[in-house]
Amino acid sequence: MPLISNDNGAIDRSRLAAWATKEELVTVVAATDAATVQAAATLAGAARTLYTMTPTASRALTTPTGAELGAAFTDEGVGSSYQFTVVNVAAATHPIVVTAGASGVTLVGAAATFSVAAASSATYVAVFTAANTVSIYRA
């Protein structure tokens, strides 16, 4: 993720320290056994977010909308990115399917790449293509 300068074009120590601290953060979210919507603020709060779930049926993990992501990632520009990982702890059968929010989010690639099988995980990279538009790729 690029580090954007202050209004005067300078990058001061506090902004650099805040950026470096965020790059070290990993947030773990233990999702309930139900359809789950990602929180934009959670994604914006750390460089990487891990979602763990033990589904008893097929479950959806829905991204925020592009506008919600744009509002949460206040210091990001086009080309900025964030990562999230989905860990399916189910022993067998039930997938977790990543789905796009209502608008402003595009899942890039075959639909199968957004289904996380039981006893596996997948990491995704989301890239801002405009202020309120995000494309998500499986890493």
Q: 20 burial class (0-12, 13-18, 19+ CB within 10 angstroms)?
A: exposed
In a domain, 17, yes or no: no
In a domain, 84, yes or no: yes
| Domain that residue 107 falls in | 26-138
Q: What is the mean pLDDT of residues 52-59?
A: 95
Q: How far apart are CA 8 and CA 15, in angstroms?
A: 13
pLDDT tens across 59-117, in order? 999 999 999 999 998 877 899 899 999 999 999 899 999 999 989 999 999 998 999 99
pLDDT tens across 39-49, in order? 999 898 877 89
One-letter-per-residue 3-state SS of 37-88 = ECCHHHHHCCCEEEEEECCCCCEEEECCCHHHHHHHCCCCCCCCEEEEEEEE
- Work out how many domains the chain is built from and give that number: 1
In a domain, 13, yes or no: no
